[in-house]
Homo-oligomer: A and B are copies of this chain.
Amino acid sequence: MSKPKAIVLMSGGMDSLLITALSLEAGYEIFPLFIQYGQKTEKRELKAFNDVCDHYKVPADHRKVMDLRELGKIGGSSLTDAGMAVESELGKGGIPNSYVPFRNSIFLAYAVSWAEVLGAEKIIIGAVVEDAPGYPDCRPEYYTAFNHLIRFGAKNIIQIETPIIRMSKEQILNECERLEAPIGKTWSCYQNEDKPCGTCDSCKLRQNAFEAIGKSDPLL
Contact = CB atoms under 8 A, between A and B. Distances in A.
Given A101-B112, A101-B113, A113-B102, A136 B149 contact: no
Interface residues of A, number: 42
Given A102-B116, A106-B109, A113-B74, A149 B154 contact: no
Contact of A153 (B74, B104, B151): B104
B146 A141 contact: no
A67 B67 CA distance: 11
A6 B27 CA distance: 46
A152 B142 contact: yes
Interface of A: 64, 66-68, 70-71, 73-76, 93, 95, 99-106, 109-110, 112-114, 116-117, 136-137, 139, 141-142, 145-146, 148-155
9 contacts: A71-B110, A76-B117, A102-B153, A103-B113, A106-B110, A109-B109, A136-B155, A141-B152, A145-B152
